[in-house]
A and B are shown apart, each in its own frame.
Chain A
Amino acid sequence: AQSVTQLDSQVPVFEEAPVELRCNYSSSVSVYLFWYVQYPNQGLQLLLKYLSGSTLVKGINGFEAEFNKSQTSFHLRKPSVHISDTAEYFCAVSDLYGGATNKLIFGTGTLLAVQP
């Protein structure tokens, strides 16, 4: 069975500092990987995804993530954060061969708290 681990429940960081949100996954098969962001009282918005190809994936709002198959990780990074990046970030995995539909398995989320 697949699982996603986000070890950091909360990451405080000062504005304009770099940040890394960690994500590790467990799966016996090849997977797709995603990062979603949830702003307060809003739904989930896709930040970026890894399906295949280059292991460095660039997303919206200046975020990027690197797929590391040997370490089963998909950490999210941003070189300089803004106050507006304060939100909950969810890592998710989907089975590459999940059949007709690929359900997303989510991690527990990391609250990125950007301070001035």
Chain B
Amino acid sequence: EPEVTQTPSHQVTQMGQEVILRCVPISNHLYFYWYRQILGQKVEFLVSFYNNEISEKSEIFDDQFSVERPDGSNFTLKIRSTKLEDSAMYFCASSIAGYNEQFFGPGTRLTVL
């Protein structure tokens, strides 16, 4: 069964450093998403991406964040200068259509020291 994959599973970084979180969505899916879950809190929407551009972004997704689909398979989330409060689990998701169910990856736990 096809699945969304994410690498790395755990990333530790120093405050101020740049990180790139990688995702490989399901191959025939066209819509891509990033969510995050701060420990003990609910899952929050960050950004959606379709047709090589951002469709919608939340207030959390400020200028420090960017997304890219550099090739036909990967979907990345970059945080330019990490802050302590960026520590969270980051989930990538994809769907075949905008209104269809979203399939989630296992997540990347980001720890900012």
Contacts and interface: CB of A to CB of B under 8 A. Distances in A.
Of the four ranges (under 10, 10 to 19, 20 to 34, 35 or more), the interface on chain B belongs to: 20 to 34
Among A44, A46, A109, max chain B CB count under 10 A is at: A44
Contact of B55 (A36, A96, A101): A101
B91 interface: yes
A105 interface: yes
Interface string A9-45: 0000000000000000000000010101000001111
A51 B99 contact: yes
Interface bracket on A:
20 to 34
Interface string B87-109: 00001010000110111111100
Given A90-B43, A106-B42, A107-B42, A101 B56 contact: yes
Interface string B47-88: 011110001101000000000000000000000000000000
Interface of B: 4, 31, 33, 35, 41-45, 48-51, 55-56, 58, 91, 93, 98-99, 101-107
Interface of A: 32, 34, 36, 42-46, 49, 51, 90, 92, 94, 96, 98-109
